[in-house]
């Protein structure tokens, strides 16, 4: 990675320095990045519509009520009937939407050169995900319907509690039992890089034994890192792509960002956002679903909301709600991400490393969206926003900031 240091003529200008970075992504590379990300907006809409269509078919052809009828012949216990119905619902839904899953998760990713697995390996991971869903969805659904039957008016509130409980348990256990099913997690190797990361971590009281590396290169080339777990299992993980493909300044900048999530307790913020959206969504569902069932229930073979055959009705209501809430959800999460960015710039003091990494994320995220577009569709600040923030940090925090013009080819370098 070559860099050309340009001696600042006069004062360091934030906009000029930002533009120098943004201009390193041009032509076909920028068009490809925009096309991939903008396509995602439509996938969001179509994905919800595919789900709604499948749910509607399950109602229209009385498949949901047939499944519940079968379950009632297996057991007299309401929770077992619900769990069997939810199991079959999940299985049938996954099979019917398989072409959509293959297109969005495999074909399209391959087309944009963002997936390095062959079909067998990819499908194997999908199968693990389905197996987990077939265990978890019946449990969650059985718990929610138990609440619906006991509290027909206020079940949305108790249902949110049920979801929250499963979410918390899943977050504590996730890094220990789920993540290793897909990737191998190892300690970050000793050496100068680890020393530098530990030095930053120590300054913020983050135990360095909580830093892991995982082998995401077996799935794709994307560089990423994350904070996962809760309580005793909380940890920062960075992937091998970040280690292999970027420079030490970039790795440190990313780790600063993740330390921000860790120190600022963003996991709780995310849990709060999600539960708030679920609470509102279940409330709306608890008011709309009975109206739909009164109107169409006889035709669908659905008796009432507490009848597990109503599962597709609840799924339609909640699915449309979550789609409508996407901009709010994105903006609330983006706010936390922006906080982590600010923390990371202060902690790592690598504004140019941060700017370079922000540019690299253009592999899968549009670099320079309009303001409204960023508000609606971005759950992280855009590359342009991040580069500008880094350059502003430089102007505010360095005694003699110099403009760095990254070498043209650095975005393609491995």
Looking at the Cβ atoms of 311 and 357, the one nearer to Zn ion is 357
Whole-number Cα distances in Å, 42 to 39, 102, 103, 104, 390: 5, 16, 13, 11, 31
Looking at the Cβ atoms of 307 and 374, the one nearer to Zn ion is 374
Stretch near Zn ion under the rule CB under 5 A, chosen from 6-14, 103-111, 276-284, 340-348: 340-348
Catalytic residue among 109, 249, 341, 374: 341
CB of 270 to Zn ion, least distance (A): 10
Contact 57, 300 (CB under 8 A): no
Contact 354, 247 (CB under 8 A): no
SS (H, E, C) 128-152: HHHHHHHHHHHHHHHHHHHHHHHCC
Stretch near Zn ion under the rule CB under 5 A, chosen from 182-190, 238-246, 330-338, 360-368: 330-338
Whole-number Cα distances in Å, 194 to 124, 213, 215, 254: 34, 11, 17, 13
- For 237, other C-beta atoms within 10 Å of its C-beta total 22
The C-alpha atoms of residue 342 and residue 261 are separated, in whole angstroms, by 11
E strands present in 164-303: 185-187, 211-214, 225-228, 235-239
| SS3 (DSSP) at 263 | helix
Please tell me the count of residues contacting Zn ion according to CB under 5 A. Answer: 2
Judge whether 408 is annotated as a binding position: no
Token pair in block for residue 345: 């710039």
CB of 211 to Zn ion, least distance (A): 15
Looking at the Cβ atoms of 340 and 403, the one nearer to Zn ion is 340
Q: Is 254 exposed, middle or buried (0-12, 13-18, 19+ CB in 10 A)?
A: buried
Catalytic residue among 55, 258, 307, 363: 258
- Annotated active-site residue 341? The verdict is yes
Total residue count of the chain as it appears in this document: 414
Looking at the Cβ atoms of 55 and 250, the one nearer to Zn ion is 250
Judge whether 210 is annotated as a binding position: no
CB of 295 to Zn ion, least distance (A): 44
By CB under 5 A, what part of segment 137-176 binds Zn ion?
none
Contact 175, 229 (CB under 8 A): yes
Looking at the Cβ atoms of 277 and 340, the one nearer to Zn ion is 340
Helix (H) and strand (E) counts for the chain?
A: 18, 6
Stretch near Zn ion under the rule CB under 5 A, chosen from 15-23, 39-47, 332-340, 389-397: 332-340
Stretch near Zn ion under the rule CB under 5 A, chosen from 106-114, 134-142, 204-212, 329-337: 329-337
Looking at the Cβ atoms of 311 and 340, the one nearer to Zn ion is 340
Token pair in block for residue 3: 């860099």
- For 5, other C-beta atoms within 10 Å of its C-beta total 9
Judge whether 337 is annotated as a binding position: yes
SS (H, E, C) 76-116: CCHHHHHHHHHHHHHHHHHHHCHHHHHHHHHHHHHHCCCCC
Token pair in block for residue 86: 């939810």
CB of 225 to Zn ion, least distance (A): 8
Q: Of 283, 327, 287, 317, which is closest to residue 44 (Cα–Cα)?
A: 327
Looking at the Cβ atoms of 117 and 224, the one nearer to Zn ion is 224
CB of 261 to Zn ion, least distance (A): 5
List residues with catalytic annotation: 258, 341
Q: Which residues bind Zn ion (CB under 5 A)?
A: 337, 340
Annotated binding site for Zn(2+): 257, 261, 337
Annotated binding site: 257, 261, 337
């Amino acid at each position: 990675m070559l860099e050309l240091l340009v001696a600042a003529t006069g004062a360091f200008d934030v906009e000029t320095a930002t533009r120098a970075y943004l201009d390193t992504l041009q032509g076909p590379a920028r068009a490809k990045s925009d096309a991939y990300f903008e396509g995602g907006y439509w996938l969001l809409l179509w994905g919800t519509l595919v789900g709604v269509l499948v749910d509607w078919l399950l109602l229209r052809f009385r498949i949901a009520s047939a499944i519940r009828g079968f379950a009632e012949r297996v057991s007299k216990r309401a929770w077992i009937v619900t769990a069997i119905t939810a199991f079959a619902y999940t299985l049938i839904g996954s099979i019917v939407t398989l072409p959509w899953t293959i297109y969005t998760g495999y074909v399209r990713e391959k087309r944009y050169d963002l997936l390095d697995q062959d079909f067998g390996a990819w499908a194997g991971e999908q199968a693990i995900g389905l197996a987990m869903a077939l265990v978890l969805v019946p449990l969650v659904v059985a718990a929610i319907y138990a609440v619906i039957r006991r509290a027909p008016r206020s079940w949305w509130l108790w249902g949110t509690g049920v979801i929250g409980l499963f979410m918390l348990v899943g977050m504590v256990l996730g890094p220990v039992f789920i993540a290793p099913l897909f990737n191998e997690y190892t300690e970050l190797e000793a050496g100068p890089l680890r020393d530098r990361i530990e030095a930053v971590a120590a300054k913020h009281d983050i135990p360095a034994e909580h830093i892991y590396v995982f082998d995401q290169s077996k799935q794709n080339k994307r560089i990423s890192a994350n904070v996962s777990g809760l309580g005793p299992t909380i940890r920062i993980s960075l992937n091998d792509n970040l280690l292999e493909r970027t420079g030490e300044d970039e790795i440190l900048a990313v780790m600063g960002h993740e330390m921000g999530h860790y120190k600022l307790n963003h996991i709780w913020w995310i849990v709060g956002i999600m539960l708030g959206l679920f609470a509102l969504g279940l409330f709306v569902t608890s008011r709309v679903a009975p109206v739909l069932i009164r109107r169409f229930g006889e035709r669908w073979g659905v008796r009432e909301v507490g009848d597990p055959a109503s599962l597709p009705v609840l799924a339609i209501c909640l699915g449309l709600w979550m789609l409508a809430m996407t901009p709010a959800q994105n903006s609330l999460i983006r706010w936390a991400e922006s906080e982590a960015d600010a923390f990371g710039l202060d902690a790592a003091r690598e504004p140019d490393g941060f700017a370079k990494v922000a540019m690299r994320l253009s592999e899968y995220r549009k670099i320079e969206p309009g303001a409204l577009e960023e508000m609606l569709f971005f759950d992280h600040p855009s590359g342009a926003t991040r580069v500008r923030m880094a350059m502003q940090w430089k102007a505010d925090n360095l005694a003699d900031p110099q403009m760095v013009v990254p070498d043209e080819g650095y975005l393609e370098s491995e």
